[in-house]
Amino acid sequence: MREYDEQQLGRLIGMLPPAPEAWVRAAQELPAARRGLDQLVARAEADAAFRASVLADLESALQAEGVEPQPRVVDELRRLLADN
Amino acid sequence: MEAPGDHGEAAARRSELTAAAVTDAALVARCRTGDDAAWRELVDRFSRYVYAIAIQGFRLSQQDAEDVFQEVFARVYERLDSLREDEAVRPWIAQLTRRLCIDRLRAGARESDADIDELPELPAEDDLTALEEAFDVHEAMAELPESCRQILDRFYARDESYRTIGDNLGLPAGTIASRISRCLDKLRDSFEGRKPPPAPSGEQVT
């Protein structure tokens, strides 16, 4: 078993600083965002008028669904709607 | 005491889960059932690791590192069912992160009209091995009392001064150095008694 002195342990602790808070939060909210997207897309598939309103304002549609409209999520919604 | 950049709720959840010593495999199993709290904990557990591989290992820009970071967790979320051995989640995430970093470097080289056959500079294996070791140390830290975790993380990983640490933790600044030393002693005992992490096998990443 290798032995570690204080300096080595301190250096190793310092090698893993926290990731930016916003990045972590966005990743943590992924399941909720996916659920929100799925619901929006399902409703848009069934309702042409709703689909048009979502496409007209993707950010607001996401917010109404309780999903933070981060650029990645907005892009994903746009892609999903284009595919359907 | 809440660390800067932490959510109070997340910190509380982390300490709960840390106290329960939730293994990687148990966490993965809970994520598969759609447990959002387990997913948040999984992201929290591996976020520093993914970030360090991208920023320190592959020296990506912040923008590229953020893209890789989000893509790693998106793929982990989507493909958790393809992981053959739940305890291998860490090497799986490491491999995924490395692959996405390399893709990002290659894309950058193409955009800059560099010779696309020429691989961008990749990190030395020793650098990535050191990050593995650093992760092991952080796992050992999780077994220490909260006061020690806080003080070591703030001083070494968040680069806070004795004064800042003292102010945030309500401790005299003059006692911080000796507390750090005592906590490092505990960490050494915890770390040197740990078994090595699982080898990078049992993965099925596409």
Q: Domains in chain B, ordered, with CATH?
A: 8-192 (1.10.1740.10)
Q: Give the residue carrying structure tokens 């078993």.
A: A1
- Least CB-CB distance to B51: which of A4, A19, A34? A19
Is the Cβ pair B39, A21 closer than 8 Å?
no
Burial class (CB in 10 A: 0-12, 13-18, 19+), B78: exposed
Contacts of B159 in chain A (CB under 8 A): 14, 17
Contacts of A23 in chain B (CB under 8 A): 47, 51, 66, 69-70
Residue A8, domain member (yes or no): no
Residue A28, domain member (yes or no): yes
pLDDT beyond 50 at B137 = yes
Residue A3, domain member (yes or no): no
Q: Are B58 and B123 in contact (CB under 8 A)?
A: yes
Residue A40, domain member (yes or no): yes
**The pLDDT of residue B201:** 47
Domain that holds residue A30: 20-83
ipTM over 0.85: no
Spans of chain A, pLDDT less than 70: 1-2, 84
**The pLDDT of residue A66:** 86
Number of domains making up chain A: 1
Grade residue B169 by pLDDT with cuts at 50, 70 and 90. very high
Residue A2, domain member (yes or no): no
Residue A9, domain member (yes or no): no
Residue A14, domain member (yes or no): no
Residue A15, domain member (yes or no): no
Is the Cβ pair A19, B40 closer than 8 Å?
no
Measure the CA–CA gap between B205 and A53, rounded to whole angstroms.
Answer: 38
